[in-house]
Structure 1
Amino acid sequence: MQQIKHGGRRPRPSSAPTIIAAMLCVVALVAAGTAWWMLRPQQKDALEHLAQPQSSSSTLNRDKAPTPKSQEHQKAAGDSPAAKASRAIATMSLDERAGQLIMAPMFAGGNPADLSALISTRHVGSVVLIGNWNNGTAAAKTAADALQSYAPSGNQLIVSTDQEGGQVQHLKGSGFDTMPSAVAQGQMSADTLRSSAKTWGGQLKQAGINVDLAPVLGTVQVKRSSNAPIGALNRDFGLDSNGNAQHGIAFVEGMRDAGVGATVKHYPGLGAVTGNTDFTTEGILDTTTTLDDEEIGAFNTTIKQAKPAMVMMSLATYQRIDSSAPAAFSSKIIDGTLRGSVGYDGVVISDSLSAAAVSGIATKDLGVRLVDAGGDLACIGDTSYVTPILDGIIARAQSDPAFAKKVTASATRVMTLKYQMGLAK
């Protein structure tokens, strides 16, 4: 608002111009008063607001009332999944926060009740269905529902599985299509693959699965038959980096169309190693991949454009990026590259921490190393590993305030995903 300041010498009362000016001033004052009276029903409150002192030192902020649009924006920000997650985490104990960083295994033929204590008492927040689930969508849904019954109603589980296609399809039987291998999916057009992924995602949704640990985005750099984790099993799309990215985007978006989150894996790629990290410590040193390599490029393009629910970290070591640790334990790769350069702020999940590739590391330290590097969710393929990994995270957080902050940040990202997916409220 502009304010008019009066000053200068007082004119003589006897001058004619002064009389005319005075008359004009009276007319102006009458008009202003009339305008004020007319404005009162609509604007009085707003004008009175402007007259009140404001807490901000900014003149602009003092003189400008919040508009309905800005108030709506503030309300929307407060209602965002990230804001809700922050509020939820603020009410959680350390044990509850740490539990959100664990994905425990549920094996085909097992009893969901075996995980009840881990979920209800230890606050484990995610489960992965693994093994040969061959009894169709109904049986998987029964198991998923039982698992969810052990979790708080306002903080349900992330329930995932490896449903890639071909040799890696854990859920089969009535209600599930037999999915073609990823190489065969790579021969589809991107539009066809997105449509197919929506169908496969819908089947997962019916079975109570809300996250698919797929697709694989490795670009095979060596002879396919010698690339044990990917090429030999036809788990990749079989294309170049650009083709793999476009099909990865289609798969992620198709799953999202069905209401299921997707997970691109295994960052920054297993296409240049010969050993399978699940089963061996040999042949899992990548000596060629760099940060500007085409293989990591397929991941980065997919992540930026499709924004998957999760990114799964490889357990291989990348000599030309960070030779000191497997990718899942590398702050340079997770915090520096994936979160920093690429800008991904979603959930970072490990490949199975019960895999042979990391068998030389104390079990209690596995989750600690993941979270310390910037990761969030410890995927575990052996039930006996769950408690030691969880206890290790809690013990480190109790003794190290800086690490405790990382636990909070990771748990917030996991909870943000849950709010985004409607699993938390």
Structure 2
Amino acid sequence: MRRTAVRATAVLASLALGLAACGGEEPATGAAPSSATAPPSASASAEPPAGGPGDDAEARVAAALEALDRREEIAQLFVVGVPADALGSGAGLVEQGVGGIFLAGRPAAPAAELAELTAGWQADATGPGLWIAVDQEGGAVQTLKGPGFDRLPPATDQGDLPAGQLAELAGRLGSQLRDAGINLNLAPVVDVVPAGTEDTNGPIGVFDRQYGSTGAEVTPAAGAVVDGLAAAGVTATLKHFPGLGRVRGNTDDTADVVDPVTTAGDDQVTAFAGTLAAADAPPMVMTSSATYGRIDPTAPAAFSPVVVRELLRGTLGFTGPVISDDLGNAAAVAATPVGERAIRFLAAGGTLVLTVAPTTFPAMLEAVEERSAADPAFAATVDAAVRTALLAKAEAGLLD
């Protein structure tokens, strides 16, 4: 078992004790952690020492870094969207050295056609291999539905399947993605939507994206999806940390989405810890863009060192890549200047900036490069993020 999983197992016990002592929740009057109002400076490492990769992975990372200049290193920290009606434009992003491409929208191309397209992108990549990502959850959120892809039931139905049937479905999903050249799935959803609140939970419950109404229901189902994807060579992504199960507004189209209830020891958080502990292969974790009033009321989770560095990386012990939710088109981040979105996410402890809007990539790349050149502390943060990103690629075979 990986070190992250071991630490996640241990933290489940400590979080559970904290919940029991508080009668299931921290007192409503409890103050946010002191660092919520005084977040760590950029001089603090945004990425902890990675655990698990062997000498071979380290050697491949070192070789990859030798071949990259500074701008190319920073470009590895971006996964950029390609519109469904303009998939050919992905070639231009490959030329710019992006770390990954996200298939946005709902392209109707058959699997064989996508396999040819993605193989071309990988062949044209001059540096490390590309993450090629989709949102293949099931139900209302399924990027690929063309020939060669099963129509997947929503997560609410997946969570009701017997364990063996869900494992079989997840394995088939992974194989279909792999055969189309997809190596990163932005799934499964680990958000916990309390029973009876589904119709008011705009981003998750309304669309039946949750596996259950408790962490105990969500964790085994999400873990089965992670393992089924991994068995086919596809990396999974747990989302949306620390949980969107209690919010009302959808951060894609609503500004200032706030969760005033969830705490650091909540069922929402322990669902992520439990899934990490149970996973046979290392997933990524996606941050939410909502603000959590009882964890860090000062910033959206994606921009919060308290959420990313302290809670996810510190308390849960997660050492792998942290990917943002969309920082390109989402209403939740629209008030923040484009370049600052990438800077704030990386400074908080993030690894991969996801932007669905390809037109935002140049400004984000330029902003991170300029800040890195001017601020040695931020430059060290970027160095750590690049190393974490490349270690994950090494583990996924993308540095071979």
Q: Does the pair score TM above 0.5?
A: yes
Distance in 2 of aligned mates of 1:123 and 1:166: 33
The one-letter amino acid paired with 2:362 is T
Distance in 1 of aligned mates of 2:59 and 2:272: 28
By relative contact order (CA 8 Å, sep 6+), the higher-ranking structure is 2
Aligned-residue offset at 1:318: 0.3
Find the counterpart in structure 2 of residue 8 from structure 1: none
Deviations 1:135-183 (A, max 9, x none): 220122132123223312x611000100000000010121100000000
Equivalences for 1:330-345 in 2 at 5 Å? Answer: 330-345=304-319
- Of 360, 371, 375, which residue of structure 1 is paired with 2:346? 371
**Conserved in 2, the CA contact under 8 Å of 1:352 and 1:381?**
yes
Find the counterpart in structure 1 of residue 148 from structure 2: 175
RMSD value, Cα = 1.6
Deviations 1:240-295 (A, max 9, x none): 1111011111110011111111000000000010000001115x100000011011
Q: 1:78 to 1:215 in 2, by over 3 A?
A: closer
Find the counterpart in structure 1 of residue 68 from structure 2: 92
Distance in 1 of aligned mates of 2:102 and 2:90: 12
Residue 396 of structure 1 aligns to a residue in which SS? helix
Residue 262 of structure 2 aligns to a residue in which SS? coil
Find the counterpart in structure 2 of residue 392 from structure 1: 367
- Of 267, 270, 274, which residue of structure 2 is paired with 1:294? 267
Aligned-residue offset at 1:78: 6.2
Residue 318 of structure 2 aligns to a residue in which SS? coil
Residue 359 of structure 2 aligns to a residue in which SS? helix
Moved more, 78-87 or 252-261: 78-87
Equivalences for 1:395-414 in 2 at 5 Å? Answer: 395-414=370-389
2:202 is aligned with 1:228: yes
Residue 261 of structure 1 aligns to a residue in which SS? coil
Find the counterpart in structure 1 of residue 177 from structure 2: 204
Distance in 2 of aligned mates of 1:110 and 1:117: 11
5+ residue gaps, structure 1:
1-75
Aligned-residue offset at 1:303: 1.5
The one-letter amino acid paired with 1:93 is D
Find the counterpart in structure 2 of residue 312 from structure 1: 286
Equivalences for 1:9-408 in 2 at 5 Å? Answer: 79-112=55-88, 114-120=89-95, 122-152=96-126, 155-221=128-194, 223-282=197-256, 284-306=257-279, 307-354=281-328, 355-408=330-383
**Conserved in 2, the CA contact under 8 Å of 1:201 and 1:254?**
yes
CA radius of gyration, larger in: 1
Residue 86 of structure 2 aligns to a residue in which SS? coil
Distance in 2 of aligned mates of 1:297 and 1:173: 36
Aligned-residue offset at 1:80: 3.3
Aligned-residue offset at 1:377: 0.3
Residue 271 of structure 1 aligns to a residue in which SS? coil
What TM-score results when the alignment is normalised by the length of structure 2? 0.83
Aligned length: 346
**Conserved in 2, the CA contact under 8 Å of 1:78 and 1:84?**
no
What TM-score results when the alignment is normalised by the length of structure 1? 0.78
Distance in 1 of aligned mates of 2:72 and 2:142: 32
Distance in 2 of aligned mates of 1:275 and 1:158: 30
Find the counterpart in structure 1 of residue 34 from structure 2: none
**Conserved in 2, the CA contact under 8 Å of 1:103 and 1:127?**
yes
Aligned-residue offset at 1:91: 4.4
List 4+ stretches of structure 1 deviating above 6 A: none
The one-letter amino acid paired with 1:424 is L
